Amino acid sequence: MRTLIKTQNVALAVLAAAALTTVTTQAAETLSVVTFGGAYEAAAKKAYFEPFTQATGIGFSTESYDGGLAKLSAMEQAKNTTWDLIDLETNDAITACDEGLLQKFDKKTIGKTSDFIPGTISDCAVASMVWSTIYAYDASKLKSAPTTVNDFFDLQKFPGKRGLRKSPKVTMEWALIADGVDPKDVYKVLGTPAGVDRAFKKLDTIKPNIVWWESGAQAPQLLADGAVVMTQAYNGRISDAAKKDNKPFKTVWDAQVYDFDWWAVPTGAKHADAAAKFIASASQPKAYADLSKYIAYAPPRKDAIALIDKQRLADLPTAPDNFKRALQINANFWADNADQINKRFQVWLTQ
């Protein structure tokens, strides 16, 4: 009898050890992910990473970078890719896919693709969120509220300084829209010499009143300091200032210029299958809706909107009321024309 019990105990111990080995092996698999860090990474951990780890046992190690493809390209050339998952800007996602730096993505894994905003799924990547450039004002300092991008250029109705990012991107688009160009025609017009002239001519009307900023944190600070009455800004920055710091800042969504961040798997990723499973998981409506709880970036998937609290929805770029006259930044246009337009922009700044 003792021999039988002993034999049973040994068998149970072997089974327990095997089970522990399986769990340990699963838990030991870790995805190396590179992001832009900061508040977005913190939100992604809560909305994307932690639920995936809980469901699969697969963990994450994170690394921050400033974008660009130099390091990824060097890894691929050396056949030693240490990243499994990468957070990309739109222009880099396009270029990396074209150059073979990213694996092709199976669109079937994310479900109904018609639920996604057009342009948020590519051959190699899926959008992780939508962010936008808007303008904001201090409601305690203006007697009437501006409502359109035209108001940003109207110094008679709304006298005072304007904050703008020191870049032609978005600024040129806004100048044309304020000058009467329909948002859907902006890049067609901006792609001509006459269109570029027209944008600069419109910017001339407010040039003496422009205060230039170069980092996202400067925009809400300019408002807080009273240095400007309106400023171009990233929507998440203004939302944080209003919600967390109780600033009387209001966002004007008219002619917002929106863009995406993207998840993709490098060609040489060592845990490519697990990374692809993560992207499929992070591309579900609930995951997108959960991200919006932690940061004011919007889901690129339309059916996630219904899962977001109505009060929070008002802060997001893709909310129906905010998205009426939105313009998607044309990454291909700027990839082809940035150098030429920026050279003229730099000359214009000194004139």
pLDDT at position 28, please? Answer: 59
The residue type of 222 is: L
Bridge partners of residue 132, in order along the sequence: 258
Write out residues in the chain with pLDDT < 70, as ranges. Answer: 1-28
2-130+260-313 and 131-259+321-350: identical CATH topology? yes
pLDDT at position 198, please? Answer: 98
In angstroms, the CA 56 to CA 75 distance is: 28
Count Cβ atoms below 10 Å from residue 244 Cβ, excluding itself: 8
Domain at 131-259+321-350: CATH code: 3.40.190.10
306 contact partners, CB below 8 Å, separation of at least 6 = none
291 contact partners, CB below 8 Å, separation of at least 6 = 43, 44, 47, 48, 128, 129, 297, 299
For the chain, the structural domain boundaries read 2-130+260-313, 131-259+321-350
- What average pLDDT does the chain have? 90
Q: CA angle 148-151-155, nearest 5°?
A: 175
pLDDT at position 7, please? Answer: 45
Q: What is the pLDDT of residues 55-71, one digit of tens each?
A: 999 999 999 887 889 99
For the residues of 108-151, what is the DSSP string, one character each?
Answer: GGG--GGGBPTTSB-SSEEEEEEEEEEEEEETTT-SS---SHHH
pLDDT at position 244, please? Answer: 83
Assign domain 2-130+260-313 to its CATH architecture.
Answer: 3-Layer(aba) Sandwich (3.40)
